[in-house]
Structure 1
């Protein structure tokens, strides 16, 4: 097989595969049915045309038969008038018309035979069309039922084109959601550990440790100062209790003196 032959074969194979995938059996059946109906219509039109031609010949035959009768009467009248010459001419025309009638009868017979054959073929074609229509509707119903069953099965199993797209969309959404949740958790963890603050700061690890040490020392010093202040405050409160007692005694003496003076 030559290169061109192989290429042609491959192209035809590809085209045939494409046509098979694109072909809808129900549309093909309907198209075939319509083509058969068109053919039946053409046969009917042919029968009608043939019948018209036959009717024209029959009309022409009747006219010739009328002429035959006319010439026959002419010949009789000529004989009664002793005009043999006219009688002979009339009989010659009669013979001529009769020959034409015979030819027309042969043609009419041929047309009638052809018409009978066409009518028989038309009836046979019409019968086949009716059978095809019944088979077509049955096949279409079976195909549509099988197609619906296949769609339902594919939808339930999730292997159909649309359901496959939906499943893939759900998978992508789930993956995206997991990714966003993981990213959010990572952000929270980095926020808690202070990684963001460290990233925005110019301090290195040593600076951070030193800062932590200074902060701890300052807290310890402040704590000691607070303890010392609280200790001194407690001692001052204990020492001031006798002084407060003396003041109260002096105030009582003053009140008594004022009462005596008022009396």
Structure 2
């Protein structure tokens, strides 16, 4: 009874293995794994393009704000020269508000630059990984095909049963599955590590911080206005009270140093 049961189990395992072989060709498994990695690479490249587009949009907006920032400084000086201190103050107040908006753009621009750099590095590493996997995939497929052909030829010549290749085929399938899972795990890890997380929770006592910031901004406007008066009294204003460079990226310097 025991011998019959053992033989039945052996036959069942043999038939099950052959059915799995027909359903799951290890070469097809490798090809599917490679296709999945290529799809992941396309997703990373699409993310790189989207980040670059957002970065360019912020850059253009910053340049526009930088031009307006300069014009408000010129208007403040002209108004003060013509004796319209109220207009000069209004121009400086608008420029102070604009400086806060530019600061937010600068933070977004810096964050996108960092994210773009990370995504480009992930793209490069994933591209190299896929290229290496492709070479190994084709090598394994060729080896498997040659080995399977050799086994069939040897069995045909020796008149042996095809069941003799069950152990070797199972080992090949296990190795292929390990290679596939390692490649997928590595690719998934690369994508998961590319995200940039930011804490959007408001800080405690934010209202007090805003009031203090408003007081500081008003004091800075008074200081700039007095500096313009002093400059006008000494023969003409020589500074814009925060003038930035005329270059395309001059807006990045707004608010980064004391006004002169």
TM-score by length of 2: 0.53
The verdict on how the C-alpha distance between 1:68 and 1:17 changes in structure 2, with shifts beyond 3 A counting, is farther
1:18 shift after superposition: 4.6
Provide the rounded CA distance (Å) in 1 between the counterparts of 2:22 and 2:50: 43
Find the counterpart in structure 2 of residue 117 from structure 1.
118
Provide the rounded CA distance (Å) in 2 between the counterparts of 1:16 and 1:59: 62
The verdict on how the C-alpha distance between 1:16 and 1:35 changes in structure 2, with shifts beyond 3 A counting, is farther
Find the counterpart in structure 2 of residue 146 from structure 1.
147
Q: What's the secondary structure of 1:82's corresponding residue?
A: coil
5+ residue gaps, structure 1: 1-13, 162-263
Greater mean alpha carbon deviation, residues 111-120 or residues 19-28:
19-28
Provide the rounded CA distance (Å) in 2 between the counterparts of 1:82 and 1:17: 97
Q: How many residues align?
A: 148
1:155 shift after superposition: 2.6
The verdict on how the C-alpha distance between 1:107 and 1:17 changes in structure 2, with shifts beyond 3 A counting, is farther
Q: What's the secondary structure of 2:73's corresponding residue?
A: helix
Find the counterpart in structure 2 of residue 105 from structure 1.
106
1:77 shift after superposition: 1.2
Q: What's the secondary structure of 2:27's corresponding residue?
A: helix
Find the counterpart in structure 1 of residue 44 from structure 2.
43
Find the counterpart in structure 1 of residue 70 from structure 2.
69
Residue 86 (structure 2) pairs with residue 85 (structure 1): yes
Find the counterpart in structure 2 of residue 25 from structure 1.
26
Find the counterpart in structure 2 of residue 232 from structure 1.
none
Q: What's the secondary structure of 2:83's corresponding residue?
A: coil
The answer to which structure, 1 or 2, has the higher relative contact order (CA under 8 A, 6+ apart) is 2
Provide the rounded CA distance (Å) in 2 between the counterparts of 1:99 and 1:34: 47
The verdict on how the C-alpha distance between 1:16 and 1:117 changes in structure 2, with shifts beyond 3 A counting, is farther
Deviation string 1:99-140 (CA, Å, 9 cap, x unpaired) is: 111111111101111111111111111111111111101101
TM-score by length of 1: 0.53
Higher percent of residues as helix? 1
Deviation string 1:52-77 (CA, Å, 9 cap, x unpaired) is: 11111111111100110111111111
5+ residue gaps, structure 2: 1-14, 163-260
Provide the rounded CA distance (Å) in 2 between the counterparts of 1:157 and 1:15: 24
Judge conservation of contact 1:151–1:160 (CA < 8 Å) in 2.
no
Instruction: Find the structure with the greater CA-based Rg.
Output: 1
Provide the rounded CA distance (Å) in 1 between the counterparts of 2:79 and 2:48: 46
